[in-house]
Amino acid sequence: MKRRYIYLVLLALLPLFSCRKGEGMSEEPRVEFCFVQTVEGELPLTRGVVNGTSLVDSESGDRDLYVTSFLHPQFGNEINYFVNERFVKTAGGWKREPSVYWPVGAVMDMMAYSSETPFNEFDISWGEPNNAEIMRLRVGNDRTQDDVLYGACWSQTNPGAGNVTAISMHHSQALLEFTFARKAGSMAVCKVESVTITDCYLSGDLIVSNNAGAPTHRWDFRRYIASNAGVDDVNNVIGTVLTSTPVSLSMLVPEQEMKSVIVTYTVNGEQKTAVKELPHGNWVAGRHYTYVFTVTD
């Protein structure tokens, strides 16, 4: 079954002080940026994949958020207010240290991403002059166990202390799972030797457009080369004797066209090969694809 999962992030607002020209210091509500979030849907407990009901993955625990904001002030020039700032989980939500505040009367555009391992500055580029309008991430082939999420909002006004602004976070990759078991009742010694996806891109440029707060993404592979790629074996399935209890290999790949899967395995020491041609179509970001193989005598 193909399912899409969306992660909801809420921007919570807390008070501080401001001062107006012609007035003395006054206590008026301003806003500390603080993210709290809920999650709809659930992915399997796979290493590096966000699952459950919060922004948590099974490898690193609570995820950080990296947020970029463009400021439309009540008076003065529009500026990039902060760029690629890290927000860390606290008791009250995801906060920046030191705190960053929402200027009174301002309107804000925002772009956010979350990953198990942060992207370095050389792997990120932004739209100009508004950095929160477009984000380009260079995703390397070391991200096959790192669920990269993105989100955005547009023209958000300060709703006042105690209210929230929502950002929906979306997957950028598809999760592929390959499950193996020996046929029930068989006494043969069966082992999986390798699982290979043909003509596959594991790297690419992820381009996210804010799209007025309804973000869209696309993958650009022009600088990359597709090749046959072995599926990650984080559960040590390769070379282990199969039983009737299923075991799995899985990894994340950029959204792209499906090709075929080659499985090399042995039965009682005799090496065999199975080729599975996949349907015409794409592996779609945010969906979980499971391929089941039963090894017979």
Give pLDDT tens digits for 236-289: 999 999 999 999 999 999 999 999 999 999 999 999 999 999 998 999 998 899
Q: What pLDDT does residue 173 have?
A: 93
Q: What pLDDT does residue 84 have?
A: 96
Kindly give, in sequence order, each residue whose CB lies less than 8 Å from that of residue 91, ignoring residues fewer than 6 positions away.
none
**91-104 average pLDDT score:** 79
Dmax over CA atoms of the chain, in Å, equals 88
29 and 161 in contact (C-beta within 8 Å)?
A: yes
DSSP state, residue 255: S
**Nearest 5°: phi and psi at 91?**
-60, -30
d(CA 296, CA 279): 24
Among residues 275, 150, 260, which one has the least CA distance to residue 206? 150
Tokens of 221: 């592979």
174-202+223-295 folds as Immunoglobulin-like (2.60.40)
Tokens of 61: 């625990």
Q: What pLDDT does residue 170 have?
A: 86
Q: What is the pTM of this model?
A: 0.83
Local confidence band at 88 (pLDDT 50, 70, 90 cut-offs): confident
Amino acid at 222: R
How do residues 152-167 score in pLDDT, each as one tens digit? 989 987 766 666 667 7
* Residue 24: pLDDT over 50: no
Listed in order, the ranges of the chain carrying CATH 2.60.40.2630 are 174-202+223-295
Tokens of 269: 């020491």
Amino acid at 289: Y
- How many C-beta atoms surround the C-beta of residue 245 within 10 A? 7
Amino acid at 81: Y
Q: Which residue has the higher pLDDT, 21 or 238?
A: 238
